[in-house]
Structure 1
Amino acid sequence: MKKRTVYSTLEQKYQRIQKELMAGTLALVGVFLIGTAWYSLVERWSWQDAAYMTVITLATVGYGETHPLGNRGRLFTIALILMGVITIGYIVNRFTEAVIEGYFQENLRLRQRRLFMNSLSGHYIICGFSRTGRQIAKEFQAEGVLFVIIEKDLDSMQQAQQEGYTFYQGDATLDETLLRVGIERAICIVAALPSDAENLYTVLSAKTLNPSIRAIARASTEEAVQKLERGGADVVISPYITGGKRMAAAALRPQVMDFVEGVLTGADRQVYMEQLVLDPAVCPVVGLTLQKACLRAQTGALVLAIQRADGSVIGGPTGDTLLLPGDLLICMGTAEQLRSLNQIIEPINTKSRRRSQRK
């Protein structure tokens, strides 16, 4: 893995200006010390007189000599004036550039963004803001999901900024970049970079830094799908394979495909699909059958399938299907129906979410 530190282009520019301003200030201090030392050690003046003479010389205020100077002292004073003018001119030039380019305002925004990144928790990370990444961001935004985008292309970052997304400009394959967007506190990372190799590097880095994170990767070929799965990706999607399957389904079963498409995506949906996990510590329906749990009667939401803890799936469960600890329920309904179902299955988590929203 590469270990070098990666900063965004904006950060690099403002750090350069900051270093130049600091270098100019140190140079001015150095010139002051040289002048004070000369007048004190060579001209045999007191330290107070030497410092005063140096200040009025660098400030070019036009005051007279503190003590009479010989030719050597006057030549040094000329050199001191030149050094002071050059140093102060450099500082003024850098300061003017910083003001014109909005360094101070942008630096404040960068600090705020850095603090926001450090506060992220339970968020999603999108690596790459190409066509695939843009569509993912739109879906996340429609769902109200907290997410951050990683992209190293400046033009793509400007577009993400225009659309109001939270972003970080950097190389997603590097550990340092992932740490800066809170990879250790994220719950999911989506590697949507144009290169299969970059996606593989990203998945490997993410799984190393946060083994429990869910990793979803984009692949261009079937061979890349296998390698990404071996690299630790939980889900690998090939746009070409998936796109071909959906086009075939749209041709063979257009109405079904339109319905599924409307349920899964879009901001103006009326019917949603959701997945809920049965936690025996908080869920009161664990151990009951679907008929006794009365989930449909209480909420109106429909349980389409149940995935057991061992990975087996029960499609179209009947009323006699037993609800076991760790089951994952795939449900469909309106937003209000799914909200009511969530209050039954996860009552403690729902109350805590309400308290956090009120805060």
Structure 2
Amino acid sequence: MGVFLIGTVWYCWVEGWRWLDAAYMTVITLATVGFMEVHELGDRGRLFTIILILMGVVAIGYIVNRFTEALIQGYFQAGLRLQQRRRIMESLTQHYILCGFGRTGRQIALEFKAEGIPFIAIDSDLAEVHEAQELGYVAIQGDATLDEVLTGVGIERAVCLVAALPSDAENLYTVLSAKTLNPQVRAIARASTEEALKKLQRGGADAVVSPYITGGKRMAAAALRPQVMDFVDGILTGTDRAFYMEECLLEPGTCPYVGQTLREARLRSQTGALVLAIRRADGSLIAGPTADTTLMTGDVLISMGTAEQLRELNQVLGPIRHRVPRLPKHT
């Protein structure tokens, strides 16, 4: 536009042409269409026309260069982002898959982030995916009920899948697909009704949570035992906790204390962590184990302590595998 104005003003004021003639001469000169001169030009006018042509070529070249650069850069940036996401998904192992990034999914992602859990979120709504990515989460757009989508996020390497999709049918299909692709994956599902809760359990979900039932129970507990609820919430969720709860699976050949009692193992005196309960391999629960309780292969120790105490407990117990493979990082 600046070059056009310079040419028009020159031909109008210096050469004395009409505004229309000056504008027309400028346009055909910059467009290099090869028309004849509108009026006879002297040496001064022809020299200016040469300069005007060069200015036009430079301006057009600059515009084309920036446009091409923007296209190429955008293409490569999109490709780089795609490759980066693919590398991240391929590198994920022992991770969690969060299906659905709605109101429930956002809270789950917040807790996962607070615990330092490696996870990837899936949602069919592109706006939700963008929001998850802006929050720093790894997220992709896709239908979590489809096998190819779950395979793409490494379901065969995942340790847990959380189905928090809007409808019970979608959650059921997702659990069925996940269990088919990886029977060992732990599946947690959201249910809106008691009927859906039963169907999800029959469909293979390891745990089913109904926000309405759970919310009602927690509200009643908060009304009846407020101090207990505050304490439990304080050790189960949040980023500024002083105490944590963790569970560890004792596998054969890895834990040096299998076969010993809690008194003999001296876990409390060595680490400071408190063993609250023990889940036996047959599913029975020992709440508040005594010093004479024997540690057995396949036991799941449910312990409470600070982050440092729980880290120390893991080191003392040896290279064991967590049923839920996580370790608190906040002190």
TM range (shorter): 0.7 to 0.9
Matched, 1:341 2:285: no
**Number of the residue aligned with 2:139:** 167
Query: Which position in structure 1 is the counterpart of 2:263?
Result: 291
Q: Is the 8 A contact 1:98 1:104 kept in 2?
A: no
Aligned length: 258
State the distance in 1 between where 2:311 and 2:225 align. 31
Compare the two structures and name the one with the higher helix fraction: 1
> In structure 2, how many angstroms separate the alpha carbons of the residues matched to 1:212 and 1:178?
14
Q: How does 1:36-75 map to 2 (within 5 A)?
A: none
Deviation at 1:100, TM superposition (A): 7.7
Deviations 1:42-73 (A, max 9, x none): xxxxxxxxxxxxxxxxxxxxxxxxxxxxxxxx
Counterpart position of 2:176: 204
Match of 2:247 among 261, 275, 291: 275
**Which runs of structure 1 show a deviation greater than 4 angstroms over 4 or more consecutive aligned residues?**
95-98
2:72, 2:97 → 1: CA distance? 34
SS of the counterpart of 1:215? strand
Partner of 2:288: 316
Equivalent-residue separation in structure 1 for 2:164 and 2:175 (angstroms): 11
Q: Unaligned 5+ residue runs, structure 2?
A: 1-63, 326-331
Provide the TM-score with structure 1 as the length reference: 0.69
Give the match for residue 162 of structure 2: 190
Aligned pair partner of 2:94 in 122, 140, 148: 122
Unaligned 5+ runs, structure 1: 1-91, 354-359
Q: Tell me, in whole angstroms, the C-alpha distance in 1 between the residues paired with 2:152 and 2:250.
A: 33
Q: State the secondary structure of the residue aligned to 1:102.
A: helix
Q: d(CA) in 1 for partners of 2:287 and 2:178?
A: 33
Give the direction of change, closer, same or farther, for the CA distance of 1:172–1:349 in structure 2 (3 Å limit): closer
Amino-acid identity (%): 71
Q: Is the 8 A contact 2:248 2:320 kept in 1?
A: no
Q: Is 2:232 the counterpart of 1:260?
A: yes
Deviations 1:225-256 (A, max 9, x none): 00000000000000000000000000000000
The one-letter amino acid paired with 1:216 is: I
Alignment partners' CA distance in 2, 1:194 and 1:174: 16
- The corresponding residue for 1:70 is none
Matched letter for residue 277 of structure 1: L
| 1:18-65 per-position Cα deviation (integer Å, ceiling 9, x unaligned) | xxxxxxxxxxxxxxxxxxxxxxxxxxxxxxxxxxxxxxxxxxxxxxxx
Structure 1's 348 and 228: CA in aligned 2 closer, same or farther, altered over 3 A?
A: closer
Q: 2:321, 2:228 → 1: CA distance?
A: 34
Check whether the contact 1:150–1:169 (CA below 8 A) recurs between aligned residues: yes
Q: TM-score, normalized by length of structure 2?
A: 0.75
Distance in structure 1 (CA, Å) of the matches to 2:278 and 2:88 = 38
- Hey, what's the Cα distance between the residues in 2 that align with 1:110 and 1:266? 32
